[in-house]
Amino acid sequence: MSRKSLVVMQSEFMRRVTSKTFILTTLLGPALLIAFFAVIVMISISAVEDTSQENESHRIAIVDETGVLNTRILNQDAGDHVLVTADLSSAREGVLDGRFDAYVRIPPEVISGTTQPVLYSQEGSGFGVRGTLGSIIERALEDHLLAERNVSADVRSILDRAVWLDTVRLTDEGEEAGAPEGYAIIGGVLGMVMYMTMLIYGSLILYGTLEERTTRVVEIIVSSVRPFDLLMGKVLGIGLIGFVQMAVWMLMFLGAMILAGPVIGLFIDPAMYDLSTTATTQEILTAANISLPHISAGLFIWFILYFIGGYLLYGGLFATVGTLVDSPQESQGLMIPLLMPMIISIIFLSPVIMNPHSGLALGLSLFPLTSPVPMIVRLSVTDVPFWQILLSYGLLVLSFMGSIWVSARIYRASILMYGKKPSLRVIVSYLRSG
Amino acid sequence: MGSLVLQGITKRFGKVTAAQDISLEAEPGRILGLLGPNGAGKTTTVRMIANILTPDEGTVTLDGRVVGPWSQEQMGYLPEERGLYKKIKVNNQLQYLAALKGIHTRDSVPRINYWMKRLGLQEWGARKAQELSKGMQQKVQFIAAVLPNPRLIILDEPFSGLDPINSELLREVVAELKADGRTILFASHRMEQVEQLCDDICLIANGKLVLSGTLREIKRRFKRDKLALAYDGEALFLDAMKETGDLQFLERNEDGCIVRLAEHCHPRSLLDRLLATPNLELYRFELLQPSLNEIFIRTVESQR
């Protein structure tokens, strides 16, 4: 790298790193991201609550035509729902005039299993009590059938046993306890951060280049610096800012992970788990079955490496767009083909999280224009075979070298052209001209 | 130190030849005026001198060495299409532009202070460029061009947009730089400025060099065919001469006229006839030197 690239790099870096925008986004960025995910989590939790209708009570009429299930149904805990015995015609009327929210008709053949109970309501489908009521009836039926056959209490208790799966992630380094949801969230956050930063820093290069052209300062600059050195200095200077921002975020993230345990511990009452009030945070978390996902240093390193690779690949291309247009509005059209692969990698974020070894996940994490986001997601949620990482990163490095080469040529040829947009044919001729 | 030589340089953009076989020389301690109508190839030529473009044919040398990144550090360039970073403080921009010319900040700071003061901008160094008036920004750009103590200074329309006071200030500074032995290239189509400032002239039209030499020599080359007359009385024979095409009136009023004589008419014979005319008292008989403006227009038109 030439001395002049260094001067450009230093200027780009110093000028932006001291700006209020940078300081604010660095400090507030994580808060915004956390708020964003918190909103998503809250929405999904409330959606889950909606389906179980825990907070809402319904009056439901039971029309038992079997003659044996009614008591067993009414004896069960129906939560906030109120279950009432009724005959068919009054249940029907009741639903229509609003006294009941729904009624269940249980035909006699339900006992033999040849037919199913039916839930009638004015809402038709999507009625939240369906799951709850279904299991109440199922249990009543089971109870009835077992009683008929004189099954003993200890056999009953065997049938009542439930199994809950605990999860442990097995890696080369050993076992890591932790909820898979934790890894999925980390994968999602890292994927989003990767996407956002590549986009933000790519755009900074674009607008920086565009500004130099629209203010016409560029002609003074290129009378001192080769366009290639200017491009490199700009890409590296802005990249360095991204790197610094990322490093600050990583430190904040690590700090948050260290503090997360004690903070969660503060919100848990030790008495709930029969622990003394002097129990340590670790004891409380263990008793509450909360384990925080462990993040390896390797993941951080790969994150930084993929950020650098993806940023360089897109950075050069964004700079080229900046030399081909005369205003931010004009740049939108040319941005679309560049943004497509990035958007695709975000669209497939959750399939990759769910199934990190699928063909889709592998393909996306090898293809250089999309690889940074899915690969970092896969690295967060699973063990990726080393050859895949190597191949993916190798392809990324080759592509960014190609992208910088192409960009430098177009950049050099078009940086002093104002007013007329070059056609594709002209752009190709720039590449040939050497 | 600082002699610039262009030898047969040609530059093509696709099918368009922007500069064709241009040769010229600029000497230290002199100002070379580069003239030409819009789109004549001035900017292309200047960009080749500044090593922003590379000529397809021919060479540009500074002190006998072909220009390249090395010569960019010896050159100050004020382009016609120019600007500053809007949001960066003036001093910081100048330090950056100086650093790109290879000047360390510890050396550029005192120079920046000197020039800011010299051009009356000492109060403005800590301001962002966008807070400065257009004229001030232009002076800042001029400072950027002279900051590296260049051997060669290229000024493309340096006075456009400056008020008369600042134009005068800039002219003084340019004269100082010339006296200091710098080579100065002054591109413009403002003829009166070129006439005032330049020692040598190059005229480019349609990408070709159509005229070059010292200002005096060029003016001498163009015949003094314009005549200013002032007299009392009647000189009716002038009208007769106009009818026969021997002269043409450029201006005419009660006291006299300015005429252009046809090729075959000698001023001397006209003077004789005026003196011989009865009741005519001649006050003024002056052969006028063509202005650079006229030379420019005539040369460019003869190219079409």
| Contact criterion met (CB below 8 Å) for B207 and B39 | no
Determine contact, residues B26/B200, Cβ cutoff 8 Å.
yes
- Dump pLDDT digits (tens) for A53-62: 444 678 889 9
pLDDT at A434 over 60: no
- Contact (Cβ atoms closer than 8 angstroms) between residue B184 and residue B30: yes
pLDDT band at A286; cut points 50, 70, 90: low
Q: What is the DSSP string of A361-396?
A: HHHHHHSTTTTHHHHHHHHHHSPPPHHHHHHHHHHH
pLDDT of A304 above 80: yes
Q: What is the pLDDT of residue A53?
A: 45
Task: Give A291's pLDDT tier (boundaries 50, 70, 90).
Answer: low
The CA distance from A147 to A99, in Å, is: 34
CA end-to-end distance (rounded Å), chain A: 19
Residue A52 has pLDDT above 60, yes or no: no
Separation between Cα atoms, residue A246 and residue A303, nearest integer Å? 10
**Whole-number pLDDT of residue B24:** 92
Q: Report the pLDDT averaged over residues B172-176.
A: 94
pLDDT top residue among A81 and A51: A81
B57 three-class SS: strand
pLDDT-derived band of residue A18, with 50, 70 and 90 as boundaries? confident
Measure CB to CB from residue A223 to each of B72, B86, B102 and give the nearest one: B72
Look at residue B119 and tell me whether its pLDDT is greater than 90. yes
C-alpha angle with apex B214: B208 to B220, nearest 5 degrees?
A: 100
- The shortest C-alpha distance from B99 to chain A (Å) reads 7
CA distance B300 to A358: 73
Q: Where are the domains of chain A?
A: 3-37+178-432, 59-160
Nearest to A136 by CA among A190, A78, A198, A85: A78
Compute the mean pLDDT over every residue in chain A, rounded to the nearest whole number: 81
Between A114-128, A136-150, A257-271, B262-276, the lowest mean confidence (pLDDT) is in A257-271
Is the distance from CB of A389 to CB of A302 less than 8 angstroms? Answer: yes
Question: Is A251 in CB contact (< 8 Å) with chain B?
Answer: no
Q: What is the pLDDT of residue A173?
A: 60
Q: How far apart are CA B31 and CA B196, in angstroms?
A: 11
Mean pLDDT value across residues B32-39: 87
Q: Is the CB of A11 less than 8 angstroms away from the CB of B75?
A: no
C-alpha distance from A12 to closest chain B C-alpha (Å): 10
Q: Return the number of CB contacts < 8 Å for A and B.
A: 57
Q: Residue B84's closest chain A neighbor by CA? A: A217
pLDDT score recorded for residue A316: 85
Q: What is the largest CA-CA distance in chain B?
A: 79
Nearest by CB to B81, from A4, A211, A219: name it: A219
The helix or strand, by DSSP H or E, that contains position B156, with its residue range, turns out to be strand B152-156
Interface test with A, best of B52, B90, B132 (most A CBs within 10 A): B52
Structure confidence by residue, pLDDT tens digits, A331-369: 888 888 888 998 998 888 888 888 888 999 999 999 999
d(CA A351, CA A322): 34
Q: Which of A71-80, A342-351, B53-62 has the lowest mean pLDDT?
A: A71-80
Taking a C-beta distance cutoff of 8 angstroms, is the pair A74, A85 a contact? yes
pLDDT value at residue A54: 45
Q: Domains of chain B (ranges plus CATH)?
A: 4-220 (3.40.50.300), 225-288 (3.30.70)
For A233, phi then psi, to 5°, come to -60, -40
pLDDT band at A172 (very low <50, low <70, confident <90, very high): low
> What pLDDT score does A161 carry?
80
Q: Are B187 and B34 in contact (CB under 8 A)?
A: yes
Percent of chain A residues past pLDDT 90, beyond the cut? 13
CA dihedral A97, A98, A99, A101 (to 10 degrees): 130
Range A59-160 has CATH code 3.40.190.10: yes
Any residues with CB less than 8 A from the CB of A349 and at least 6 apart, and which?
Answer: A188, A191, A192, A373, A374, A377
Residue closest to B273 by CA, chosen among B215, B234, B225: B234
Contacts of B167 (CB under 8 A, 6+ apart): B159
What is the per-residue pLDDT across A88-124, written as a single tens digit (0 to 9) for each?
888 888 888 888 888 889 998 888 888 889 888 887 6
Alpha-carbon span A385 to A365, nearest angstrom = 12
What average pLDDT does chain B have? 89
Give the residue with greater pLDDT, A256 vs A18. A18
SS3 A291: coil
